[in-house]
């Protein structure tokens, strides 16, 4: 069982990491795996299941911020074609990850959840973000709710790349949207919309798979991590769109490159 004050601090740290990174193009899964390695957390069944539960805090932060818009969609999706069309688009974008994730679940968990893979994909993803910035893509789509239906599906396939830890769900979604003509803000906003079914679906699937471990989990640690993830996830969602409207992705790209490089150095030279 977890319960010591030091473990509650670790739970809080992991909650902060989850909240800060879930909606940024830096990979929350990659950061959590590295943080667990440094903190010495995650070796037992509860540690592995803990990160599943704290994701719910970040999900709820996003849902509370978008509640009014979600409610409006729910009220109008059966009477308004634009509303129905956007809901269909989100579902189309969600479909590839739902199918491929379910089919490849065992391989992803047993093979890809390796800190060395995380470090390499962090670095590669950083260079991809720098490349996207340097391309100076001409945007012709400025509203995430009005992308063509084919584009929603295509973005969904880009999201599947993020099943490799360290790639970043938000990063893959944003890059895909921008390559198809979206501006930075609409690409980032659609990553929020797509996060809702994707994260809820992943949470439900993971929680079901790990229900035995979760039933014996330590509630104080879960509560601390959940609250931290909610607070910092809320802050990121409220500020990220304004940031990308005025700035490039360079800060996230270099953060990924530096973190991945430091991680590889620590693994191979200090056996961390």
pLDDT of residue 110: 84
pLDDT digits (tens, 9 = 90+) for 36-92: 888 887 655 566 667 777 888 999 999 999 999 999 999 999 999 999 999 999 999
Q: Structurally, how many domains does the chain consist of?
A: 1
pLDDT tier, 19 (very low <50, low <70, confident <90, very high otherwise): very high
CA distance 110 to 108: 6
Phi, psi of 182 (to 5 degrees): -80, 150
For range 131-157, the mean pLDDT: 96
pLDDT digits (tens, 9 = 90+) for 97-115: 999 998 998 898 888 889 9
For range 232-238, the mean pLDDT: 97
Report helix, strand or coil for 139: coil
pLDDT of residue 50: 79
pLDDT of residue 1: 43
For range 244-269, the mean pLDDT: 95
Report helix, strand or coil for 147: coil
Angle between helix 81-103 and 184-209 (nearest 10): 50
Task: Specify the range with the lowest mean pLDDT, choosing from 106-110, 115-119, 143-147.
Answer: 106-110
pLDDT digits (tens, 9 = 90+) for 192-231: 999 999 999 888 887 777 776 666 667 788 889 999 999 9
pLDDT of residue 270: 82
Q: The pTM is what? A: 0.92
Burial of 77 (0-12, 13-18, 19+ CB in 10 A): middle
**Residue 189 pLDDT greater than 60, yes or no:** yes
Q: Which two tokens stand for residue 162?
A: 């993020």
The pLDDT > 90 percentage for the chain reads 73
Report helix, strand or coil for 269: helix
pLDDT tier, 2 (very low <50, low <70, confident <90, very high otherwise): very low
Single out the residue of 39, 51, 32, 31 nearest to residue 260, CA to CA: 31
Q: Which two tokens stand for residue 153?
A: 């599906």
pLDDT of residue 250: 96
Task: Specify the range with the lowest mean pLDDT, choosing from 86-95, 118-127, 201-210, 233-242.
Answer: 201-210
pLDDT tier, 264 (very low <50, low <70, confident <90, very high otherwise): very high
| DSSP characters over 198-256 | HHHHHHHHHHHHTHHHHHT--HHHHHHHHHHHHHHHHHHHHHHHHHHHHS-SHHHHHHH
Q: Where are the alpha helices (DSSP H) in the chain?
A: 5-21, 28-39, 45-65, 67-76, 81-103, 105-107, 115-135, 149-160, 169-179, 184-209, 211-215, 219-246, 250-269
Q: Which domain holds residue 42?
A: 5-269
| Cα–Cα distances in angstroms (integers) from residue 142 to residues 56, 180, 246, in the given order | 30, 12, 15
**Residue 6 pLDDT greater than 60, yes or no:** no
Q: For the chain, what is the mean pLDDT?
A: 91
Single out the residue of 140, 201, 149, 152 nearest to residue 176, CA to CA: 152
């Amino acid at each position: 069982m977890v319960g010591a004050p030091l473990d509650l601090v670790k739970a809080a740290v992991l909650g902060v990491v989850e909240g800060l990174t879930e909606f940024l193009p830096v990979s929350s899964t990659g950061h959590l795996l590295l943080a667990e390695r440094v903190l010495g957390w995650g070796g037992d069944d509860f540690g592995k299941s803990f990160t599943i539960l704290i994701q719910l805090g970040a999900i709820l932060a996003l849902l509370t911020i978008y509640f009014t818009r979600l409610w409006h969609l729910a009220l109008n999706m059966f009477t308004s074609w634009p509303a129905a069309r956007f809901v269909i688009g989100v579902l189309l974008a969600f479909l590839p990850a739902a199918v491929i994730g379910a089919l490849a679940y065992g391989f992803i968990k047993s093979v890809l959840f390796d800190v060395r893979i995380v470090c390499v994909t962090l670095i590669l993803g950083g260079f991809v973000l720098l490349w996207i910035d340097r391309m100076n893509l001409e945007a012709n789509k400025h509203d995430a709710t009005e992308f063509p239906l084919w584009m929603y599906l295509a973005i969904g396939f880009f999201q599947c790349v993020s099943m490799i830890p360290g790639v970043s769900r938000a990063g893959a979604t944003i890059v895909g949207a921008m390559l198809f003509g979206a501006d930075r803000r609409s690409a980032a906003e659609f990553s929020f919309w797509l996060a809702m079914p994707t994260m809820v679906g992943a949470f439900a699937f993971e929680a079901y798979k790990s229900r035995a471990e979760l039933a014996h989990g330590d509630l104080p640690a879960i509560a601390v991590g959940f609250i931290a993830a909610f607070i910092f996830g809320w802050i990121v969602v409220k500020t990220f769109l304004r940031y990308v409207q005025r700035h490039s992705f360079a800060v996230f790209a270099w953060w990924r490159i530096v973190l991945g490089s430091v991680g590889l150095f620590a693994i191979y030279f200090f056996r961390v």
